[in-house]
Amino acid sequence: MKLLPLVFIASVGFFETSAQLSNRAVMDLKSGRRPDDTSYVYWLPYAEDTKFLLIQAANSKMSHRNELSLDFKMRTGSKICAARDGIVIEAKGDSDQGGLKEEYLNDGNHIIIRHTDGSIAKYWHLQKDGVLVQVGDTVTQGQHIGYSGNTGYTAFPHLHFQINDAKGKQILTRFFTRRGIKYLRPGNWYKCVHD
């Protein structure tokens, strides 16, 4: 889709808004770019040169309707890698329970990493014993930190990835992709590239 500059201007305020996305903002995201964007550029949260299908993201009609999380469909046991440098502040890897029942809500294996700007990244639904880091560990961008799985509240094997800013607000972030630096759109495959 070809977007007019007007659309870009109209959506500059996007990051100051809540998780609710206006149609304008979503149109802008479909271009994968915003003007004068100085936000941090993440690496995709899996191994370099591997690619996965993004099935949920902003404006998805599925369960993340008003969230800004990313869900990558992923065979259990796929390598999960740090999307950015940070320190592990939460890690759980002892669960083998998962499914679409509320009783599984607390059973999701996961890693939470805090970055230098106070934002955090959450990597969720990891495989049992598929967490390779501990609370307090320093991790570097691209480091292999775990294996994907299907634990917790989940319908199928996937990685749930989300970023919250220092105030706890969920935000969208951009990534290096084969086609340049982009905000991601559901329905596309994204290969992890490091620049």
How far is the C-alpha of 53 from the C-alpha of 73, rounded, in Å? Answer: 6
Find all residues with CB under 8 Å of 21, minimum gap 6, and list them.
14, 29, 58, 59
Choose between 69 and 119: whose C-beta lies nearer to Zn ion.
Answer: 69
Contacts with Zn ion, residue ranges (CB under 5 A): 69, 71, 160
- Nearest distance from residue 159's CB to Zn ion, in Å? 8
Q: Which two tokens stand for residue 138?
A: 């320093």
Choose between 28 and 71: whose C-beta lies nearer to Zn ion.
Answer: 71
Choose between 11 and 151: whose C-beta lies nearer to Zn ion.
Answer: 151
- Nearest distance from residue 126's CB to Zn ion, in Å? 13
- Nearest distance from residue 2's CB to Zn ion, in Å? 31
Choose between 70 and 91: whose C-beta lies nearer to Zn ion.
Answer: 70
- Nearest distance from residue 121's CB to Zn ion, in Å? 13
